[in-house]
A and B are shown apart, each in its own frame.
Chain A
C-alpha cells in the first residue's frame, strides 16, 4: 500500500460505515425478504398459469365468490368476500400495531413496546384462527356437494386429489399458497412472542436500542404485503 493514498476510516469503502446506512441484521433481513418474495411470486405465477390453462378444459375454474362465501355462525347465507375481508383488516391492523411498537421502540418506551407487541401477537393469532376456520370450511365443503368429476358419486369439500369446486389444481394451489402464507404468519407470531418476552425481560434496555423490533417488524410487514397479493390473486381475480 502506498502511503500517498489517504485512507479515511469513515469511508464506506474502508468498512468504516455501512454503505446502506443500516445495520448488518437489517440488511440481511431485507435480503431474506427478497428471496422470500421470489418464492411467493413463483407460487402466484403457478396459480396464474394453471388458471389460465384451465380455460379450455371442461372443468371450469371456480369463481372465488362462489367458493369463499361463508361466515361463522351464519349458515346458508351467501356472503362472498366478507370473511376474507375481515381477515385482511385484521392483518393490516396488526401491521399498524407492529409499526406503533417500532415507533415506541425508537422512543425507548418499554411499556408501550410491550403493549403494541402484545396487540400484534393477538392480531396474528386472530388471523391464524380465521385461516383455520377457512380451511376447515374448504375441506368440509357444502352440504350439496358436487358430482361433476366422478360418475354418480358425490364429492363434498376438498382433498389433494378431488374437490367439489373445480380442477384438482384449484384445491392444491389453495392449500399451498394460503398454507405457505399461514406458515409465515405462524413463524411471525413465534418471533413476536420471543421479542415480546425479551422486551418484558428488559433485554433491549440493557442493549441500549430496540433495533430487534424493527427487524421483526420488517418480517411482519412483509407477511402483510404478501397477503395483499394472495388476497388479490386468490379472492378478487
Chain B
C-alpha cells in the first residue's frame, strides 16, 4: 500500500527530494551569496569608479543570480527544457540591457539633430 502511494506521488516528489536540496546546500549557498556581497563592498571601497569596476559589479550580480535561480529557485534540478524556455529569454533581456546601455547615448545625438 505504501509502495503504491509512493509511486503515485513519485513524479511530484522526485525533483524535491532526490536532488540534494538539503539544509547544508542552503547554508552553503547563503555563505556564497554573503561572500559575493562582501566582495562587492571590497571593490566599492578599494577601487575608483570606472567602467571596469561597473563590469565587475554586474559580473558579480550575474554570479549571484546563478546561485539564487539555480539553488534557491531550484532551476538546477528542473527538466532542462524548462530551464531552456525560461533562461533563454532572460539571456535576451541581458543582451538588450547591454545593447541599450552601450548605445544609450544615441538619444543625445538624435536630440542634438532635432534641436
Residues in A lying within 8 Å of B, measured CB to CB = 17, 19-23, 27, 30-31, 33-34, 37-38, 41, 44-45, 48-49, 52-53, 56, 63, 65, 81, 85, 88-89, 92-93, 95-96, 98-100, 102-103, 106, 208-209, 211, 214, 217-218, 221-222, 224-225, 228-229, 232, 236-237
Q: Is the CB of B81 within 8 A of A20?
A: yes
- Smallest CB-CB separation from A30: which chain B residue? B86
Which residues of chain A come closer than 8 Å to B21, judged between CB atoms?
99, 102-103, 106
* Bound Cα distance A20, B83 (Å): 9
Q: Which residues of A contact B73 (CB under 8 A)?
A: 217-218, 221-222, 225
Q: Give the number of chain B interface residues (Cβ < 8 Å).
A: 51
- Chain A residue at smallest Cβ distance from B17: A106
Measured between alpha carbons, how far is A30 from B75 in the docked complex, in Å?
Answer: 10
Chain B residues contacting A41 (CB-CB under 8 Å) are 93, 96-97
Cβ contact within 8 Å between B22 and A45: no
Report chain B residues within 8 Å CB of A209: 9, 12-13
- Cα distance A34–B61 when bound, in Å? 18
The reply to whether A89 and B34 form a contact with Cβ atoms under 8 Å apart is yes
B49: interface (CB < 8 Å) = yes
What are 30 inter-chain pairs, A to B, with CB distance below 8 A?
A17-B11, A20-B78, A21-B11, A21-B79, A22-B15, A30-B86, A33-B86, A34-B89, A37-B90, A41-B97, A49-B104, A53-B105, A81-B44, A85-B41, A92-B33, A96-B30, A100-B23, A100-B26, A102-B74, A106-B13, A106-B17, A106-B21, A209-B12, A217-B72, A221-B68, A225-B65, A225-B73, A228-B61, A232-B61, A236-B57
Q: Are A81 and B82 in contact (CB under 8 A)?
A: no
